[in-house]
Amino acid sequence: MSEFIDFLSEVFIDFGELRSKRMFGGHGIYHQDLMIGLVANNELYLKVDALTEDKFRAVESSPFQYNKNGKIVTMSYYQAPQEIFDEPRLAASWAQLAFEAAFRNAAKV
């Protein structure tokens, strides 16, 4: 596991337990068995949905994108605001938004 993944446990100490799982060259970040984030290239992205995406855009966050067979694929994960890495309470509130988005997404299935 990378140092960055280990560091996320400290960042989200006020939110609760996280676990990670390797996936596609990165890591999925889980809370209560829901994927609330992903890490790619040591960058954290948090889950968004229609109710939370505007909050991420308001802080000029960018979506996670990757190239698949020459096409850009955009996923429903946005870059975490940099401020959360120094403020556990702020990190907890952004993680809660991601958890709620993941919960709503899971309820659709």
In the chain, where the domains are located? 3-108
Check whether 109 has a pLDDT greater than 70.
Answer: no
Report strand pairing: 19-23 vs 43-47.
Answer: unpaired
Asked if the model's pLDDT at residue 25 lies above 90, the reply is no
User: pTM of this prediction?
Assistant: 0.93
| Cα separation, 20 vs 27, whole angstroms | 6
Class for the domain spanning 3-108: alpha beta
Residue 38: pLDDT above 80?
Answer: yes
pLDDT at residue 83, rounded to an integer: 96
47, 80 in Cβ contact below 8 A? no
Mean pLDDT of 89-95: 97
**Which residues touch 102 (CB under 8 Å, ≥6 apart)?**
31, 34, 35, 36, 47
Q: Which residues contact 109 (CB under 8 A, 6 or more apart)?
A: none
